[in-house]
Structures are given as C-alpha cells and as structure tokens.
C-alpha cells in the first residue's frame, strides 16, 4: 500500500456522489449531500440516511405524474414547498397539462436546479392508479433484495488487545466482549409502491455475535410490514415504523434536516406513516399503526408502540423502600462491554396516540395527541441546566398544526403543549415575491419547560425546549444559471444549557453563490458564521465565565464532467474558531476526487485524496464521502494529515452487485489516535468495507 500511495497522491480527482441508478439524479443528490454535511456539522450523532435513499429510489421506480398529482403526492418530492406546489397546480388548472420538463421553467420559483432535482422522480405519462392487492401478481411481479455488508478497522485497537484473565476479572469493562467486525444483513420485498416487508440485522464492532449476550446472532434486529392505498385504508404498518406530523413540534419519530443554506424551505413536509428500514436503534416506533380515510379530505391515523430502550439503572433509596430508576435514554445503540450490555433495553417505553388531518384546496389543519409511559421512573440528580427537564413515568403531548398556500405565499405553523403545561410555538411563511426571488421567515418559541422526546422542529439547540428565535432566508435567481442563497438566524436561550451557566443568545449567518454555466460545470462559494456562548474552561476559576464562541467557515467547490466516463470535483475549505479571550484556532481542508466509469464492463471507480491541517478539534471541517450503497460517511477532518479512499462498484450481473471500499487516514502530528478502548497506538487508521447485493 505504501508503494501505491504516491500514485494516489498524484491524482487530481473527485467523486461526484451518485444514487447509482441515473445520471439525472446528480442535482437531487448534491442538494441532499450538502444537507447531510450541514446536519453532521451541528451534531455528534451518527444518523442512518438509508431511508432517505430508499425514499428517492422508490420515487425513481414509481415516478409521480406531474399532470394528475395532488398536493399530497407532490409533497413526497420533498424539494417543493407548499408555495411551489400551489403555483404548479394553479398553472395546470389554468393552462392545462405539461407536455415535458421544459414547461416547468415557465413557473415562478422553479429555477433550473430545482427542475433538475425533481426531474428523475416525475413523469408526464399516465400512471396506473393503485389497485387492490392481488397475491398472484405479488408472487409474479414483486421485487426482492438481499444485502450483506462487512467492515472493520485494520489497525489494532485497545479494546481488542490481549489481556490476562485476572486483569479482565478486576476490570471487566476494559475490553470489548466481541470482535472488531461490523456485519449488516438486510432483506426487503416490494410490490409496486404499495407493499413492502423485510428485516435487517446489525452488529457493531465490539459486539458479540451468536454468543454471549447475543446468542441469536445480531445485536439489533428490525422488521416491518407496510401496505398503502388500499381503498380507504391509506397506510398500515406492522413492526417498526415512523410517524411524522405537522412541523415536528408535537410528533416526529425519525430524522429531519434543519437550517440549510442550500434551501430556504424551512417548512417541513411530513410524510405521515411510513415504514422504518434503517439500522438506527432509537429513532423509530415498534408496534402497529394505520391511516384511514374517514372522508375524502379527512384522514385519521392511530399508532401504538411498545419497545425496550437503553438506559443505565440506579437504585434510589427512600425512607420506605428501594427502587430502580433511570436518568436518561442512551442513544448510541452500542453494546460492547458488560456495562453497555447491562443498559440494553433496560427500560420499556409505550407510546400510543392519534392524528386527525383535514386537507382541502391548499389548506391543511391537523391535531396530534399521544401518551408516553415508562415502566420505570426517569429520575435525575438534577444539574441546574436540567431543572425543567422531564421526570417521572408518564407524559402527554398534544398539538395543532395548520398551513395554507397559494401561488404567492405559504403560511404554516404549529403549537403544542406537554403534560406539565409547558408550551411551544412555531410559525413561518414563504413568499414568492418575484419570479426570481423567494423569501422565507420563521419564528419559534419553545418554552424552557416544554417536554417532548419525539419533537424535531427547526431549532438551534437541537431540541424543542428553551429557545426563542427568528429566521430569515432568501434565494435570488440571477439569470438562467446562477443563484444566491442566504439565511440569518438570531436566537436566545432563556435558561441555562449544557456547558452554559447562564441564559444566552447568538446568531448565525450563511450565504452561498452557485453557478452552472453549462451542463458539465458547476461551482459554488459558501461562507458561514456562527456566534454563540460557552463556559470558559478554566480550572482556577470557581464560577465559570460565559464568553462568546465564534466560528467561521469558507468553502470553494468545483464540479466538472469531463465526458461520459470521467467526473471531477475539487474543494477547498477554511475554518476559524475562537472562544474569547482564548487564542484563535484555524484550519483548512483540500480534497480532489474522481469517478471513472468503464464502458465495456459495468465497473465504477471512485477515489478521494484529501490534505487537512487544523490547530485542534474545535476548528474541524466536515466533508461528505461516498460509501457503499445505503451507507453514509461524513467524517470530521482535524489535526494534520492526509486521508484517501478508493471505492469500487462492479455489477456482476443484472441482479448481483459488489462494492468494496478502502479508506486510510495518516496523521502527521499524532502518535496515538482515538481514546479509551478505541485507541490506536500509531498515526494511521485504515478501514475496509465489502458489500454484496442480490436482486431477484
């Protein structure tokens, strides 16, 4: 590999990450790619974005007829807000059907990149209406898919190194119970876009496999059965599923994107009831749910979930008795050591409720209510910033959401309350001020005592609590090939937060200029600024001072399609971080990637070489990396070094596909990588992933 590295370094390439099923999806994927990068930069949580991929794969295989789709159908595209949907429907009503994709460019707000983004997922031909399920056709025309993935870190890590029996007995959590292999297995059946069922199993590195705590194989299993559009039964889910309503202020069980310079659309497009097909071990419901059409414009959804949640139990000793309580839900999904295994599904959670939704001529209104019950009491040894957090065994949430849209504007909002009478409010609007100018505004006020475990609205603090703010966004279309997008968000936190010992405020600004002078070239410039507050870490001070923390990021990104075989991209990113009055830390990232598609054989090769240099972790820079199908990677680049990966995708036949990915990071100023049981004694970390997919 050392002999191969100089050859890699000499390349000046970039991978244009693709969905893999159509060149036309590049624009759509680029938008999603940037949203994923931004989300990853704001949280340490690792999300599974495979459901997003599947959503668009399903749309690609079953495109929406742009001439007959109603507003609910068009919301499934996710790229269109209610204002654009109203413009499209109004134009169709007045001037008749669209004959081709070129007709959309005459619509206000439908700039060229937006049209390219939705093009793979729409059609102008008649689409057959959903029919009742015919089991004979299910056997004949249904599609099956089996996928297996294996991966590992090549270098020895502390958690897997040998240790004596006596030392392990004395410190049982000093080593992982399982081996370092990651294993993922998945099966899914689909019939049209009406029925799907399947299961998956996932084993993380360090977890046991067919032994010890996992005698039945994988550490995590998930299964689902989902059917939709069967007469008045609009959807039925059994097993693992998601529910999404309103703007995510009352109920939103899955992942959701937040603020983004790539989109002024701060209005959530809730998909109601849908199957869970990701390996995330926390963000889903397990049980049954159904959506039924009571009237032509009135739907009722009822849901019930009963599942185990990871939590650390402790004994609370009162004057009368001792009982087991927990202080919070563990969201990592990792069960590698005895202490982590002891937390596995230690608490039972039940969630049951309903949503009723009315939708007619651009107006929607809905109400959601549900109850959450734990079989043990959530009891915290409260730190000051946790004073208003939920404690107890039961919570009740109820909320009302509404929206209205026409060709000129879209207004939306939601208000909600929890059992303790804590309240939350969100209202926003998107204005089509000019065919080339769109403006959005969003106000949010989440009281410090609002308590909800399944709320994922637009926010700066990461949850629907202790935040008030107002957001402004705009998009200008300059000519036919250029766009300017920006947003400004100002916010305050009325109560203390983690590592912030006083009420604080802040602001955030982001701007991007992008240009597509021709079909082969695309580039953009982006600047982002954030000013927030944080405790000043100083061991000599008894009461920590809260000071400003400022972060600047600048990016230049260039994509170029050389020909049908070669696609290039280059990026240069700078970061600057300071918590006053401490010193400034800075950094940069430069990478070059390529994708090469062979014509005579079904082989795609993708390569990246990156050089990075940051003063510390605070000045880190995130960058999306291509990976095997259904797997996503957005690592943080920090300290000084280089990183590269090589990804090969070979279609062995029409039904059998193979992926292999090798990545390596070499640090120039580190002799130890990682910490704890993940520690590597050396300056190099290498990973390999192999995946096989069989479709039949």
| 3-class SS of residue 512 | strand
Long-range contacts (CB closer than 8 Å, 24 or more residues apart) made by 488-496: 489/259, 489/460, 491/460, 491/461, 491/467, 492/467, 492/468, 493/461, 493/466, 493/467, 494/447, 494/448, 494/466, 494/468, 495/385, 495/387, 495/388, 495/448, 495/466, 496/384, 496/385, 496/387
Residue showing tokens 């000043």: 536
Comparing 35 with 588, the larger pLDDT belongs to: 588
**CB 476, CB 484: distance < 8 Å:** yes
Look at phi and psi of residue 59 and say left if phi exceeds 0, alpha if psi is from -120 to 50, else beta. Answer: alpha
What mean pLDDT is predicted for residues 162-187?
Answer: 96
Q: Say what the pLDDT of residue 541 is.
A: 59
Averaged pLDDT, 615-635 = 91
Weakest mean pLDDT among 116-120, 423-427, 626-630, 677-681 = 116-120
Report residue 87 as tokens: 């413009």
Going by pLDDT thresholds of 50, 70 and 90, the confidence category of residue 255 is confident
Average pLDDT of the segment spanning 302-319: 89
Cα–Cα distance measured from residue 282 to residue 330, given in angstroms and rounded to the nearest whole number = 9
- Residue 640 phi, psi dihedral angles, 5° rounding: -125, 130
Angle at 655 between CA 654 and CA 660, to 5 degrees: 95
Q: Look at residue 518 and tell me whether its pLDDT is greater than 90.
A: no
pLDDT value of position 637: 96
Burial per residue of 359-370, b for 16 or more beta-carbon CB atoms within 10 angstroms, e otherwise: beebebebbbbb
pTM of this prediction exceeds 0.85: yes
Lowest mean pLDDT among 430-434, 526-530, 575-579: 430-434
Confidence of residue 15 (pLDDT cuts 50, 70, 90): very low
3-state secondary structure of 162: coil
Backbone dihedral angles phi then psi of residue 98, each to the nearest 5 degrees = -80, 140
Residues 528, 492: Cα–Cα separation, whole Å: 19
Do 304 and 286 contact (CB within 8 A), yes or no? Answer: no
For range 306-325, the mean pLDDT: 84
Query: How many Cβ atoms are within 10 Å of 216's Cβ, its own excluded?
Result: 8
Average pLDDT over residues 438-450: 96
Identify the weakest region by mean pLDDT among 25-39, 295-309, 455-469.
25-39
The position carrying tokens 């009503």 is: 93
Residue-averaged pLDDT of the chain = 89
Identify the burial level of 166 via C-beta atoms within 10 angstroms of its C-beta, where 0-12 means exposed, 13-18 middle and 19 or more buried: exposed
Contact between 473 and 440 (Cβ < 8 Å): yes
Encode pLDDT of 93-103 as tens digits.
Answer: 888 889 888 88
Task: Kindly state the average pLDDT of the residues 276-297.
Answer: 94
Least confident piece of the model among 197-206, 304-313, 314-323, 545-554 = 314-323
CB 98 within 8 A of CB 124: yes
How far is the C-alpha of 594 from the C-alpha of 602, rounded, in Å?
Answer: 17
Question: pLDDT at position 131, please?
Answer: 66
Distances (CA, A) of 371 to 250, 353, 396, 405, 474: 11, 6, 4, 31, 38
β-strand 347-360 against 636-637: which pairing, if any?
unpaired
CA dist 594 → 226, 343, 558, 684 (Å): 39, 44, 12, 23
| Segment 558-575 mean pLDDT | 94
Q: Are strands 122-123 and 64-65 parallel, antiparallel or unpaired?
A: parallel
- Best CA proximity match to 508, nearest among 258, 150, 188: 258
As a whole number of Å, the end-to-end CA separation of the chain is: 37
**Cα–Cα dist 567/98, whole Å:** 32
Angle at 651 between CA 127 and CA 694, to 5 degrees: 70
Task: List, in sequence order, every residue forming a beta bridge with 437; answer none if it has no partner.
Answer: 434, 476
Distance from chain centroid for Cα 470: 23
Average pLDDT score over residue span 226-247: 96
Backbone torsions φ then ψ of 512, nearest 5 degrees: -145, 135
**Residue 10 confidence class, pLDDT cut points 50, 70, 90:** very low
Contacts of 517 (CB under 8 A, 6+ apart): 481
Q: Which helix (H) or strand (E) holds 138?
A: helix 135-141
> Distance between CA atoms of 271 and 267, rounded to whole angstroms?
13
Q: According to the model, what pLDDT value does residue 29 have?
A: 64
Torsion angles phi and psi, residue 55, rounded to 5? -60, -45
- pLDDT reading at 320 higher than 80: no
Number of neighbours of residue 11 by Cβ within 10 angstroms: 14
26-42 vs 50-61: helix crossing angle, rounded to 10: 160
- When pLDDT is cut at 50, 70 and 90, the band that residue 260 belongs to is confident
Residue whose pair of structure tokens reads 């008749």 in the numeric block: 96
Structure tokens at 566: 């070669």
Q: Is 38 helix (H, G, I), strand (E, B) or coil?
A: helix
623 CA to centre of own chain: 15
List Cα–Cα distances, 108 to 85, 88, 257, 419, 432, in angstroms: 11, 9, 25, 44, 8
Residue 620 pLDDT exceeds 70: yes
- Report the alpha-carbon angle 217-326-459, nearest 5: 90
């Amino acid at each position: 590999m050392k002999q191969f590295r100089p050859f890699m370094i000499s390349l000046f390439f970039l991978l244009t990450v693709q969905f893999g099923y159509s060149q036309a999806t590049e624009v759509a994927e680029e938008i999603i790619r940037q949203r994923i990068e931004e989300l990853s930069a704001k949280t340490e949580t690792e999300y599974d974005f495979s459901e997003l991929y599947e959503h668009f794969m399903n749309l690609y295989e079953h495109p929406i007829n742009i001439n007959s789709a109603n507003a609910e159908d068009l919301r499934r595209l996710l790229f269109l807000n209610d204002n654009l949907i109203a413009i499209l429907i109004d134009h169709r009503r007045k001037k008749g059907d669209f004959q081709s994709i070129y007709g959309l460019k005459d619509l206000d707000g439908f700039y060229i990149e937006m049209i390219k983004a939705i093009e793979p997922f729409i059609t102008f031909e008649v689409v057959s209406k959903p029919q009742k399920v015919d089991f004979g056709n299910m056997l004949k025309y249904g599609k099956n898919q089996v996928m297996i993935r294996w991966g590992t870190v090549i270098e020895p890590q502390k958690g897997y190194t040998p240790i004596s029996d006596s030392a392990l007995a004395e410190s049982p959590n000093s080593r992982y119970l399982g081996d370092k292999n990651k294993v993922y297995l998945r099966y899914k059946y689909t019939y049209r876009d009406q029925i799907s069922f399947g299961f998956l199993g996932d084993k993380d590195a360090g977890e046991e496999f067919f032994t010890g705590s996992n005698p039945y194989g994988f550490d995590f299993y998930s299964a689902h059965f989902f059917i939709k559009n069967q007469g008045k039964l609009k959807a039925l889910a059994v097993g693992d599923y998601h529910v999404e309503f309103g703007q995510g202020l009352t109920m939103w069980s899955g992942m959701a994107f937040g603020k983004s310079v790539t989109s002024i659309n701060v209005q959530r497009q809730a998909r109601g009831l849908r199957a869970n097909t990701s390996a995330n071990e926390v963000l889903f419901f397990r049980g049954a749910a159904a959506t039924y059409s009571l009237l032509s414009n009135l739907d009722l959804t009822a849901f019930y979930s009963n599942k185990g949640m990871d939590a650390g139990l402790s004994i609370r000793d009162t004057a009368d008795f001792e009982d087991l309580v927990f202080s919070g839900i563990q969201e990592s999904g990792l069960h590698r050591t005895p202490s982590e295994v002891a937390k596995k599904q230690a608490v039972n959670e039940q969630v049951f409720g309903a949503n009723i939704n009315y939708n007619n001529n651009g107006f929607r209104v809905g109400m959601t209510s549900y109850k959450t019950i734990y079989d043990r009491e959530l009891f915290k040894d409260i730190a000051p910033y946790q004073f208003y957090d939920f404690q107890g065994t039961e919570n009740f949430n109820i909320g009302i959401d509404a929206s209205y849209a026409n060709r000129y504007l879209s207004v939306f909002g939601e208000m909600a309350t929890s059992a303790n009478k804590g309240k939350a409010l969100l209202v926003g609007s998107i204005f089509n001020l000019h065919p080339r100018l769109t403006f959005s505004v969003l106000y949010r006020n989440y009281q410090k005592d609002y308590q909800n475990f399944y709320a994922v609205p637009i926010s700066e603090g990461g949850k629907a609590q202790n935040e008030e703010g107002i957001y402004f966004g705009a998009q200008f279309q300059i000519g036919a090939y250029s766009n300017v997008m920006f947003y400004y968000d100002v916010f305050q936190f009325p109560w203390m937060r983690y590592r912030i010992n006083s009420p604080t405020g802040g602001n955030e600004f982001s701007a991007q200029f992008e240009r597509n002078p021709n079909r082969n070239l695309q580039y953009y410039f982006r600047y982002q600024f954030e000013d927030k507050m944080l405790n000043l870490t100083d061991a000599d001070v008894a009461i920590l001072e809260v000071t400003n923390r400022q972060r600047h990021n600048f990016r230049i990104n260039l994509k170029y399609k050389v020909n049908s075989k070669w696609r290039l991209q280059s990026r240069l990113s700078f970061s600057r971080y300071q918590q006053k009055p401490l010193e400034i830390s800075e950094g940069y990232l430069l990478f070059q990637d390529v994708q090469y598609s062979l014509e005579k054989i079904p082989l795609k090769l993708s390569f990246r070489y990156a050089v990075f240099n940051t003063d510390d972790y605070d000045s880190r820079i995130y960058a999306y990396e291509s990976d095997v199908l259904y797997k996503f990677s957005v690592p943080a680049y920090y300290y000084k070094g280089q990183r590269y990966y090589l990804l090969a995708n070979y279609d062995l036949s029409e039904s059998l596909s193979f992926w292999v990915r090798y990545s390596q990071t070499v640090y120039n100023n580190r002799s130890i990588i990682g910490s704890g049981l993940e520690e590597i004694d050396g300056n190099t970390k290498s990973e390999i992933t192999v995946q096989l997919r069989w479709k039949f």
